[in-house]
């Protein structure tokens, strides 16, 4: 081997011999244990259950025990209650109802909507943080006003809803200094009504998750063209159109 070649190879040899430094902090065994408890089997079974309600359209049936938005949100509530019981009962569960009036667009009659909400209170009274994770339970077909056709919504947003559920299941028995909220919101496909209600509620109670929710709504509207974005105030529109 020629001397020049030896010189060229030298830096690589040094690199190969040096020990790589730790790139990540060591895994926290408590977190690792929780992560290991997330079950792909549960996630799939929960999505299949959500799909079995046929449609979860916001304007769909609320009386049937097996089909429509009413049956599906009752099921999520009952699951949350099971997780709470298994976790020692610290997690509270509620149907946060609110009425939306006809809006001349995607709501054609007064609708009683409900966000299914589970709250795991923080253990430190001086910790005012609220960490919130949400998915939307409602689904629809291309015709946004069709409340009877099958709308399985397995990915949009059944997958988000079951993720919220699985996190609630795994974390219900845990204790954290700050408060955690798990929410299946409704009315998203009709105009982001559920998360809007959640944000308003947070604002009213001066909960610190208000800004995050509003940002989340903005992100959703930007990231998912299928979602309807609420009309901006006239002043903002004028600015956008240069009028
Ligand atoms: Zn969606």
**pLDDT reading at 57 higher than 50:** yes
d(CA 227, CA 188): 7
**pLDDT reading at 1 higher than 60:** no
d(CA 208, CA 215): 13
d(CA 193, CA 230): 10
- 175: CA distance to ligand 1 center in Å? 31
- 142: CA distance to ligand 1 center in Å? 12
Assess if residue 21 is contained within a domain. no
**pLDDT reading at 113 higher than 70:** yes
Residue 207 structural domain: 30-227
pLDDT tens digit sequence for 62-73? 999 999 999 999
For the chain, how many structural domains are there in total?
A: 1
pLDDT for res 217: 60
Assess if residue 233 is contained within a domain. no
pLDDT for res 211: 53
Assess if residue 7 is contained within a domain. no
- 89: CA distance to ligand 1 center in Å? 31
**pLDDT reading at 163 higher than 80:** yes
Following DSSP, what letter does each residue of the chain receive, concatenated?
--HHHHHHHHHHHHHHHSPPPP-SPPPPHHHHHHHHH--HHHHHHHHHHHHTTSB--TTS-SS-SSSSHHHHHHHHHHHHHHHHHHTTS-SEEEEEEEEE---SSS--S-EEEEEEEEEE--S-TT---EEEEEEE-----SSTT--SS-B--IIIIIIHHHHHHHHHHHHTT---SSEEEEEEE--HHHHSHHHHHHHHHHHHTT-TTHHHHHHHHHHHHHH-TTSPPPPPPHHHHHHHHT-
> In this structure, what CATH number is given to the domain that contains residue 105?
3.40.630.10
- 178: CA distance to ligand 1 center in Å? 28
Assess if residue 122 is contained within a domain. yes
Assess if residue 112 is contained within a domain. yes
Assess if residue 6 is contained within a domain. no
Assess if residue 60 is contained within a domain. yes
pLDDT tens digit sequence for 5-51? 434 444 444 444 456 677 888 889 999 999 999 999 999 999 999 99
- 200: CA distance to ligand 1 center in Å? 20
- 141: CA distance to ligand 1 center in Å? 11
d(CA 149, CA 46): 21
- 36: CA distance to ligand 1 center in Å? 28
Q: What is the mean pLDDT of residues 148-161?
A: 98
**pLDDT reading at 175 higher than 90:** yes
d(CA 139, CA 238): 33
Assess if residue 15 is contained within a domain. no
The distance from CA 195 to its chain's CA centroid, rounded to whole angstroms, is 10
- 56: CA distance to ligand 1 center in Å? 12
- 225: CA distance to ligand 1 center in Å? 9
- 155: CA distance to ligand 1 center in Å? 8
Tell me the pLDDT band of 88, cut-offs 50, 70 and 90.
very high
d(CA 217, CA 200): 12
pTM over 0.95: no
CA-based radius of gyration for the chain: 24
pLDDT tens digit sequence for 195-230? 999 999 988 875 455 555 555 565 555 545 455 444
- 184: CA distance to ligand 1 center in Å? 12
Q: Among the listed ranges 128-137, 144-153, 160-169, 215-224, which one has the minimum average pLDDT value? A: 215-224
């Amino acid at each position: 081997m020629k001397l020049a070649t030896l010189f060229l190879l030298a830096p690589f040899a040094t690199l190969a011999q040096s020990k790589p430094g730790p790139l990540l902090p060591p895994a926290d065994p408590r977190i690792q244990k929780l992560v290991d408890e997330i079950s792909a089997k549960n996630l799939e079974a929960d999505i299949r259950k959500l799909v079995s309600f046929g449609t979860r359209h916001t304007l769909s049936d609320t009386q049937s025990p097996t089909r429509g938005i009413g049956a599906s949100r009752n099921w999520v509530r009952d699951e949350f209650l099971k997780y709470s019981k298994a976790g020692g009962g610290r997690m509270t569960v509620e149907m946060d109802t609110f009425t939306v009036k006809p809006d001349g667009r995607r709501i054609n009659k007064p609708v009683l909507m409900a966000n299914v909400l589970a709250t795991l209170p923080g253990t430190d009274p001086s910790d005012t943080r609220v960490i919130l994770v949400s998915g939307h339970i409602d689904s629809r077909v291309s015709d946004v006003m069709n409340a009877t056709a099958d709308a399985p919504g397995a990915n949009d947003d059944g997958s988000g809803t079951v993720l919220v559920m699985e996190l609630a299941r795994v974390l219900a028995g845990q204790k954290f200094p700050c408060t955690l909220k798990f929410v299946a919101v409704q009315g998203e496909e009709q105009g982001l009504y559920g998360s809007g209600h959640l944000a308003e509620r947070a604002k009213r109670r001066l909960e610190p998750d208000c800004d995050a929710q509003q940002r989340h709504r903005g992100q959703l509207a930007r990231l998912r063209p299928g979602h309807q974005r609420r009309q901006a105030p006239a002043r903002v529109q004028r600015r956008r159109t240069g009028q």
